[in-house]
């Protein structure tokens, strides 16, 4: 079982969501996140005064899935989050020990 975590641009959310659900992903978590990458924010100057913008707003999606689905899911996210030649964002794949559905107590594959 793996967790696929992707940081994407906000406007790509709908496309990625649609792509993943077409793939049969049952549920995903979306959060509004802020952070910075290589470029550490930037400065805006307005009327001589400087305003520092430290973070960039992005969307983080998290999906837990069975191992077999991972390559497909990564491909879909990559395709959907890209505009032409230009790609943007990151995907992380993290091993998951187990999952438990709170209501029923089901574990593993049944719980995702």
Partner 1 sequence: METRFSRGEIQETFQESHAEIMDQYFRRSLQESRAGRMLFRDRMPFTFVAVGGYGRKELCLRSDVDVLFIFNSKIPSPAKDLAEEVLYPLWDIGLDLGHGIRGIKDCLALAGEDFEVLTSMMDARFICGDSPLFFSLVEQLREKTLSKKARAFAQWLAERDKLRMASFGDASCLLEPNIKEGIGGLRDYHHILWLAKAFFHLRIPRDLEYHGILSHREYRDLEKSVGFIGLVRNHLHRLSERKNDRLTFDQQEKIAGVLGFRDQGDVLAVERFLGKLHADMALVKSLHRSFILTHIPGAGKRTEARSEISVDSATTFVNDPLAMAEVFVESCRYHRPLSLDTKRLIREFLYLVDGKFRRSERATGAFLFVVNHQNAFEALDQMLEIGFLSALIPEFALIRDRVQYDNYHIYPVGRHVLQTLFHLKALGKERDLLLLAILNDLSDPEPLLLASLFHDIGKIGKDHAQKGVLMTRAILKRMGYDKAKADDVLFLVKHHLLLTETATRRDLNDEKIIVQCARTAGSIQRLKMLYLLTWADGRATGPRAWNDWIANLVLELFFKILHTLERGELASPDASRRVKQTLQKVRGEIGDRMTPSELEQHFEAMSPRYLLERKPGEIAGHVLRFKTLRASFTDHPAATFSFETREGFPQGTYEVTFLGRDRPGLFADLAGAMALNNINVLSAHIYTWRDGTVVDIFSVTSPLDPVRSREIWEKVERDLKNTFSGALDLGERLKEKARPSILSRRKKWHWQPEIKIDNQSSDFFTLIEVFAEDRIGLLYQITHALFHLGLDIRIAKIATKKDQVADVFYVRDLDGEKIMDAQREAQIKEALLQSLKQG
Give contact residues for partner 1 (rule: CB under 8 A).
Answer: 9-11, 32-34, 38-40, 42, 44, 46-47, 49, 51, 53, 55-57, 83-88
Distance CA 26, CA 49 (A): 49
Q: Distance between CA 103 and CA 91 in Å, rounded?
A: 30
Nearer of residues 24 and 55 to partner 1, judged by Cβ: 55
Fill in the DSSP letter of residue 71: H
Nearer to partner 1, 18 or 66 (CB): 18
Query: Least Å distance between CB 84 and partner 1?
Result: 5
Give the C-alpha separation, 77 to 44, whole Å: 32
* Residue among 35 and 108 whose Cβ is closer to partner 1: 35
């Amino acid at each position: 079982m793996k967790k696929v975590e992707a940081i994407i641009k906000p406007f790509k959310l709908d496309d990625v969501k649609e792509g993943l659900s077409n793939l049969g992903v049952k549920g995903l978590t979306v959060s509004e996140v802020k952070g910075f990458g290589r470029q550490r924010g930037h400065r805006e100057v307005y009327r001589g005064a400087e305003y520092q913008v430290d973070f960039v707003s992005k969307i983080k999606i998290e999906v837990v899935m069975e191992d077999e689905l991972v390559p497909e899911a990564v491909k879909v996210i990559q395709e959907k989050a890209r505009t032409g030649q230009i790609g943007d964002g990151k995907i992380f794949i993290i091993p998951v020990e187990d999952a438990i559905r709170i209501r029923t107590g089901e574990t593993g594959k049944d719980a995702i």
